[in-house]
Amino acid sequence: MVNHCKRLIVVVPAYNESQIIKKSVTKLSEVLKHLIDQQLVSKESKLLFVNDGSEDDTWDQLISFHKENSLVTAINFSRNFGHQNAIIGGLTEAYDYGDIFITIDADLQDDPWAIVEMVKSYYEGFDVVYGVRESRTTDTLFKRSTAGLFYTLMSKLGVKMVPEAADFRLTSKRVVKQLLSYSERNLFLRGIVPDIGFPSTNVYYSRKERELGETKYPLRKMIGLAWDGITSFSMAPMRFVLFLGIFSLTVSFIMLVYTLGQHIWGDTVRGWSSLMLSIWFIGGSQLIGLAIFGEYLGKVFNNTKQRPRFIVQDNLLKEGQDNA
């Protein structure tokens, strides 16, 4: 069962994490050392930190950890590209160096020791191992309920997702290879990874509170991610517009009959209200329709541009290999 030749690369996105990065390096190093000692992974396994354009001293700290700890390596983005792109960037750069890949946030909210179980599941033959939050009592009620709502909505829209699984997961090399061939922008990994297939399983852990620093996912970014998730996987909003159109046409037909009736037998001045109603109603639904079409058109526009999803400015991983 045990194959100690497999190289594990733990990809850790970090954006303005200067307060917790040291602790993060220590904890994750402990776990990786344990795995190496147990001969579950090879000695060349690494922690690959992805500095996603932090404005604080996260990168400087990472350079010094890299010097003193042979398990630590890092890449530095030229600016902030966002969490999902940081993960993709890390996996892209790590691809040639590893056999097993795990992504985990730098803030230690996910239990680093669950990594051991993930690696064991990998040797049992699973290509994808999702870290699933058994309890998330530490998250605010607001975050929990909006997340619950989002998972329900996504499954109603027919998007395969593992509930309560975020971006803490193990992927085998062949899954990462497939993942990297998904060249779309506005990545939503939680939807894409299940879409790839291959045998998968879950590892359960309880999500902790963020000890230091603050969330980099304010409401604005949460909504952005959810919206990307919905519009990159489903045409349902567009179909909804179609039904809205059919509905408003039906209503306006009824209004037509009603207004004509009023015109012939009633008081025409009273027709003002129905006129106003239909103008507002049709105008409103057209605007919604336009907005949703615009969203898809925007996605097409972004994808045709084929801009890079991330830009690496410094790469300690490659440097390390060149020097060796």
| Binding range to ligand UDP, per CB under 6 A, among 38-46, 105-113, 127-135, 249-257 | 105-113
74 binds, among Mg ion, ligand UDP, none (CB under 5 to 8 A by kind): none
What is the rounded CA–CA span in Å between residue 38 and residue 36?
5
Q: Does residue 103 touch Mg ion according to CB under 5 A?
A: no
Q: Does residue 107 touch Mg ion according to CB under 5 A?
A: yes
Identity of the residue numbered 200: S
| Binding range to Mg ion, per CB under 5 A, among 26-34, 107-115, 154-162, 302-310 | 107-115
Q: Does residue 167 touch Mg ion according to CB under 5 A?
A: no
Q: How far is the CB of 17 from Mg ion (least distance, A)?
A: 10
Q: Does residue 13 touch ligand UDP according to CB under 6 A?
A: yes
| 100, 123 Cβ separation under 8 angstroms | no
What is the rounded CA–CA span in Å between residue 176 and residue 122?
14
**Which residue, 124 or 211, is less far from ligand UDP as judged by CB?**
211
Q: Give the tokens for residue 93.
A: 């750069």
Q: Which residue in 133, 169, 216, 309 binds ligand UDP (CB under 6 A)?
A: 216
**Which residue, 217 or 301, is less far from ligand UDP as judged by CB?**
217
| 167, 87 Cβ separation under 8 angstroms | yes
Q: How far is the CB of 86 from Mg ion (least distance, A)?
A: 13
User: By C-alpha distance, which of 141, 114, 92 is closest to 34?
Assistant: 114
User: By C-alpha distance, which of 295, 101, 120, 118 is closest to 180?
Assistant: 101
What is the rounded CA–CA span in Å between residue 133 and residue 145?
14
**Which residue, 216 or 309, is less far from ligand UDP as judged by CB?**
216
Helix ranges (H only) for the chain are 21-37, 58-68, 83-94, 114-123, 141-156, 173-181, 189-196, 219-233, 236-265, 271-305, 316-323
How many residues at the interface with Mg ion, by CB under 5 A? 3
What is the rounded CA–CA span in Å between residue 47 and residue 102?
9
Q: Does residue 84 touch Mg ion according to CB under 5 A?
A: no
**Which residue, 6 or 216, is less far from ligand UDP as judged by CB?**
216
- Count Cα neighbours of 112 within 13 Å in the Cβ-side half-sphere: 21
Q: Does residue 170 touch ligand UDP according to CB under 6 A?
A: no
Q: Does residue 217 touch ligand UDP according to CB under 6 A?
A: yes
Among positions 48-87, residues that touch ligand UDP (CB under 6 A) are 52, 80, 82-83, 86
Q: Which residue in 29, 109, 202, 231 binds Mg ion (CB under 5 A)?
A: 109
What is the rounded CA–CA span in Å between residue 102 and residue 114?
11
**Which residue, 17 or 99, is less far from Mg ion as judged by CB?**
17
**Which residue, 106 or 154, is less far from ligand UDP as judged by CB?**
106
**Which residue, 22 or 318, is less far from Mg ion as judged by CB?**
22
Q: Does residue 14 touch ligand UDP according to CB under 6 A?
A: yes
- Strand pairing category for 8-14 and 46-51: parallel
Q: Please name every residue paired with 50 in a beta bridge, in sequence order, or none if there are none.
A: 13, 75
How many residues at the interface with ligand UDP, by CB under 6 A? 16
Q: Please name every residue paired with 315 in a beta bridge, in sequence order, or none if there are none.
A: 75
Q: Does residue 229 touch ligand UDP according to CB under 6 A?
A: no
**Which residue, 14 or 71, is less far from ligand UDP as judged by CB?**
14
Q: Which residues have a Cβ under 8 Å from the Cβ of 157 and sit 6 or more positions away?
A: 230, 233, 234, 236
Q: How far is the CB of 107 from Mg ion (least distance, A)?
A: 4
Question: Which residues contact ligand UDP (rule: CB under 6 A)?
Answer: 13-15, 17, 52, 80, 82-83, 86, 105-107, 109, 215-217
